[in-house]
Amino acid sequence: MTLSKLLELANHSGGTLYLMCLLLLAALTVIIERSLYLSRMQQGGVDLIALLNTGVPLHAEVTQQALQKHERLPHVSLFTAALIEPSDAQRENCAGHLEEAVMHEVPTLDRSLWVLDTVITLAPLLGLFGTIIGMFGAFAVLGDVQNGAGQVTGGIAEALIATASGLLIAMIGLVFFNWLNTKVRSIVHQMETIKLMLLNRRFGASPVAGMRAGLKVA
């Protein structure tokens, strides 16, 4: 299908194909930006968890260098909250402050995903609307006896392109929307893991963990 044919179809669709092009552009922009951002966040979280597993103190130089390297990560806010806690802080208070830091960072992870969600819902509806407009034009030729059945069926086929385009955009958006949501959940899980690791390294294992260890020994 040539470019001129595509432009002709877009003009006959009442402008809906142009709107779907804008939806596709918006979806691709969100997909690319969020994919790069979340992938970088996820890998940084893996590095920080590996650093905590080495048992290096929070005030050590290597830890400070790692935090500076990953200063734009949401995980770093947990380390900052742990470092500013007073020395006589209770575990419950410290856990509350760390949880507060997690809650502050979560909205930055799924930012702009609402755009992708809107595209997934709107694209098929817009495609159906374009098809209805195209069908009006296809059946309008029936009033002229000189128009054959081929022209009617050709017009219907062209009108259905709007529906197909809307479904294609929705399918692309749905796949990446679920994939990006999985990455968001993974990063939130990383932050919860770091929170528990920081608490356990400062206050020791929780009572539940101690009970489980005792059961294993027994």
Phi-psi region of 57 (alpha: psi -120 to 50; beta: other; left: phi over 0): beta
pLDDT band at 33 (very low <50, low <70, confident <90, very high): very high
Answer yes or no: are the C-beta atoms of 64 and 82 closer than 8 Å.
Answer: no
Specify burial of residue 76 (Cβ count, 10 A radius: 0-12, 13-18, 19+): buried
Nearest to 26 by CA among 103, 91, 113, 102: 113
Answer yes or no: are the C-beta atoms of 56 and 197 closer than 8 Å.
Answer: no
Report how far residue 185's alpha carbon sits from residue 14's, in angstroms, rounded to the nearest whole number: 40
Digit-coded pLDDT (tens) for 157-208: 666 788 888 899 999 999 999 999 999 999 999 999 999 999 988 887 544 4
CB neighbours (10 Å) of residue 216?
7
Report how far residue 174's alpha carbon sits from residue 169's, in angstroms, rounded to the nearest whole number: 9
Mean pLDDT value across the chain: 81
